[in-house]
């Protein structure tokens, strides 16, 4: 008989018959999680195959290899109707997921690096087309920028526009003022969980080219060579020939990064779904199967896409596929309601009833559900093994992290061209929380940036980009 999930949850909350209700809760959740992951996988898998057909020739060998490995796991473990999943298969799925996340991290770091060099290169472009430089009154442009930023009452949108503009204005504040802004931005995390400040510091280090992971050069040697080529330029003395060559290098790198990131993002979606299905497969109870989902339809979709991948024929999927997806409409939304209802109950099982779960030999089951919940969350790249920490951010921690950040940035600035340093500062300022108290301070900063910029080529490039933002 199918479990009344609401009743089970209520009884667990009240502490009634936990030895009977925990197994019922776990079995019900295993089925719901498995169904949700299966429907999600069907949608992601079909979309990914269409992407593969259109663009696979531009994918890296490593991305194609991972795609093949995931296809084999789907074929051998989800389509052959196995009742149990071995630890080796779970380990393989976990390793693949970690590999995807590692590579996505590398790509994210490279994106910020090339974004900085793109900024620097853009600021030299008008050196080779001086006749196109337009006279601009600083005060008039500043007023136009202010109108653009504050033409709404939505503070979230205002802050987004402000950060966008800060990332493009000429940087003319002193390095010391820049470091003060960064130090003050860390004060927002006083008393918060340390993990939140760690995330912010990670972002600051990537946007300022401070972060470098071992393995980036090995896994993406071409990107590394292109990065070094752009780093070796003297941007204030750049020749037209050097500029045109650098443009080509930058275009190649950014095009590759755009495709590669899209591939790995999609692979992450798929491996999360596959991993979630594998974790719950051994615990599924036929009596708890979601009657809203035609299992045969789901199996057919996965099989058709998997066969298309493994055949290597690169043929379009049958038109009937769309009809099959119609049968899955609304399923994810319905199960999401179940997730909301059971989230705190599963937490209670983890915190309050872990010893009972162990006595009932349900510890592995509970751990599998907790891991699956993470995989199906909105945090696509969540660390599955990270333990929750209670450490709070203190003044001393903020001070030490700010000192370390300032020291590392000073060392970085000392080894880079001035145009690149300004690009780093602009890229970083465009990602920190708004540090102005009122509109007057915003106006003063904008006017100061424009008035103090004596480089006509840099200013012309900034004006062009800012006008494009305003006109969007």
Where does 283-394 have alpha helices with state H? 295-311, 321-326, 331-351, 354-359, 363-375
Per-residue DSSP letters for 142-184?
HHHHHHHHTSSS-HHHHHHHHHHHHTTS---S-HHHHHHHHHH
Task: Please tell me the distance from the alpha carbon of residue 452 to that of residue 362, in angstroms, as a whole number.
Answer: 67
Task: Please tell me the distance from the alpha carbon of residue 424 to that of residue 419, in angstroms, as a whole number.
Answer: 9
Q: Is residue 70 over pLDDT 90?
A: yes
| Mean of pLDDT values over 339-361 | 93
Task: Please tell me the distance from the alpha carbon of residue 424 to that of residue 120, in angstroms, as a whole number.
Answer: 9
Task: Please tell me the distance from the alpha carbon of residue 220 to that of residue 60, in angstroms, as a whole number.
Answer: 10
| Mean of pLDDT values over 397-408 | 97
* DSSP secondary structure code for residue 304 in this structure: H
Tell me which of 41-55, 384-398, 399-413, 414-428 is least confident: 384-398
In this prediction, residue 390 carries a pLDDT of: 67
Tell me which of 32-46, 188-202, 244-258, 375-389 is least confident: 375-389
Question: Most distant CA pair in the chain: distance in Å?
Answer: 82
| Mean of pLDDT values over 180-190 | 94
In this prediction, residue 161 carries a pLDDT of: 93
Residue range 110-128, pLDDT digits in tens: 999 999 999 999 999 999 9
Q: Is residue 1 over pLDDT 60?
A: no
| Mean of pLDDT values over 119-141 | 90
Task: Kindly state the tokens that stand for 53.
Answer: 């057909």
Judged by phi (left if over 0) then psi (alpha if -120 to 50, else beta), residue 215 lies in left
| Mean of pLDDT values over 357-361 | 94
Task: Kindly state the tokens that stand for 410.
Answer: 């000073």
CA 151 to chain centre: 30
What lies within 8 Å, CB to CB, of 41 at 6+ separation is 270, 273, 274, 277, 302
Residue range 207-230, pLDDT digits in tens: 999 999 999 999 999 999 999 999
Q: Is residue 106 over pLDDT 60?
A: yes
Q: Sign of dihedral through CA atoms 460, 466, 469, 472? A: negative
Task: Kindly state the tokens that stand for 234.
Answer: 């003297």
Task: Please tell me the distance from the alpha carbon of residue 369 to that of residue 362, in angstroms, as a whole number.
Answer: 11
In this prediction, residue 321 carries a pLDDT of: 85
Residue 436: which of 149, 141, 175, 137 has the closest Cα? Answer: 149
Quote the mean pLDDT of the chain: 92
In this prediction, residue 472 carries a pLDDT of: 79
Where does 56-86 have alpha helices with state H? 61-73
| Mean of pLDDT values over 431-446 | 88
- 38, 47, 304 from 319: Cα distances, Å: 21, 14, 12
Where does 387-438 have alpha helices with state H? 395-414, 418-429
Where does residue 171 rank: exposed (0-12), middle (13-18), buried (19+ CB within 10 A)?
buried
What lies within 8 Å, CB to CB, of 130 at 6+ separation is 456, 457
Q: Is residue 407 over pLDDT 90?
A: yes
Task: Please tell me the distance from the alpha carbon of residue 424 to that of residue 447, in angstroms, as a whole number.
Answer: 21
The model's confidence at residue 388, banded by pLDDT at 50, 70 and 90, is low
Residue 447 in contact with residue 172, Cβ under 8 Å?
no
| Mean of pLDDT values over 357-384 | 95
Q: Is residue 387 over pLDDT 80?
A: no
In this prediction, residue 40 carries a pLDDT of: 96
Per-residue DSSP letters for 196-226?
HHHHHHHHHHHHTT----TTHHHH-HHHHHH
What lies within 8 Å, CB to CB, of 70 at 6+ separation is 96, 267, 270, 271, 274
**Burial code of 339-371, b = ≥16 C-beta within 10 A, e = fewer?**
beebeebbebbeeebeeebeebebeebbebbeb
The model's confidence at residue 375, banded by pLDDT at 50, 70 and 90, is very high
């Amino acid at each position: 008989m199918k479990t009344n999930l609401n009743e089970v949850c209520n009884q667990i909350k009240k502490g009634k018959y936990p030895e009977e209700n925990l197994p019922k809760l776990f079995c019900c959740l295993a089925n719901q999680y498995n169904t949700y992951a299966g429907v999600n996988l069907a949608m992601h898998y079909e979309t990914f195959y269409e992407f593969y057909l259109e663009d696979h020739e531009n994918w890296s060998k490593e991305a194609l290899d991972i795609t093949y490995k995931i296809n084999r796991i789907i074929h051998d473990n989800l389509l052959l109707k196995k009742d149990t999943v071995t630890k080796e298969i779970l380990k393989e799925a976990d390793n693949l997921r970690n590999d995807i996340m590692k590579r996505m991290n590398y790509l994210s770091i490279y994106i910020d690096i090339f974004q900085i060099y793109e900024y620097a290169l853009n600021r030299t472009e008008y050196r080779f087309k001086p006749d196109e430089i337009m006279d601009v009154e600083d005060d008039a442009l500043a007023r136009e920028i202010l109108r653009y930023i504050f033409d709404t009452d939505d503070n979230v949108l205002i802050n987004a526009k402000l950060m966008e503009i800060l990332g493009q204005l000429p940087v003319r504040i002193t390095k010391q003022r820049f470091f003060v802004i960064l130090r003050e931005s860390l004060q927002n995390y006083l008393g918060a969980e340390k993990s939140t400040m760690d995330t912010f510091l990670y972002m600051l280090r990537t946007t300022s080219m401070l972060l470098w992971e071992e393995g980036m050069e090995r896994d993406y040697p071409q990107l590394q060579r292109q990065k070094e080529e752009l780093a070796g330029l003297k941007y204030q003395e750049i020749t037209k020939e050097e500029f045109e060559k650098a443009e080509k290098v930058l275009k190649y790198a950014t095009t590759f990064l755009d495709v590669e990131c899209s591939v790995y993002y999609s692979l992450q979606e798929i491996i999360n779904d596959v991993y979630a299905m594998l974790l719950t497969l051994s615990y599924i109870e036929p009596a708890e199967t979601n009657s809203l989902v035609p299992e045969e339809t789901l199996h057919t979709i996965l099989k058709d896409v998997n066969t298309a991948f493994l055949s290597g024929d690169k043929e379009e999927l049958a038109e009937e596929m769309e009809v099959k997806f119609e049968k899955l409409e609304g399923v994810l939304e319905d199960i999401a309601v179940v997730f909301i209802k059971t989230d705190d109950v599963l937490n209670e099982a983890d915190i309050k009833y872990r010893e009972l779960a162990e006595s009932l030999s349900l510890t592995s089951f509970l751990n599998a559900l907790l891991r699956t919940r993470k995989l199906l969350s909105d945090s696509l790249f969540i660390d599955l093994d990270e333990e929750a920490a209670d450490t709070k951010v203190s003044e001393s921690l903020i001070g030490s992290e700010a000192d370390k950040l300032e020291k590392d940035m000073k060392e970085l600035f000392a080894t880079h061209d001035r145009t690149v340093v300004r690009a780093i500062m602009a890229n970083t300022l465009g990602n920190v929380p708004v540090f102005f108290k009122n509109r007057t301070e915003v106006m003063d900063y904008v006017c100061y940036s424009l008035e103090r910029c004596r480089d006509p080529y840099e200013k012309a490039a900034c004006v062009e980009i800012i006008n494009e933002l305003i006109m969007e």
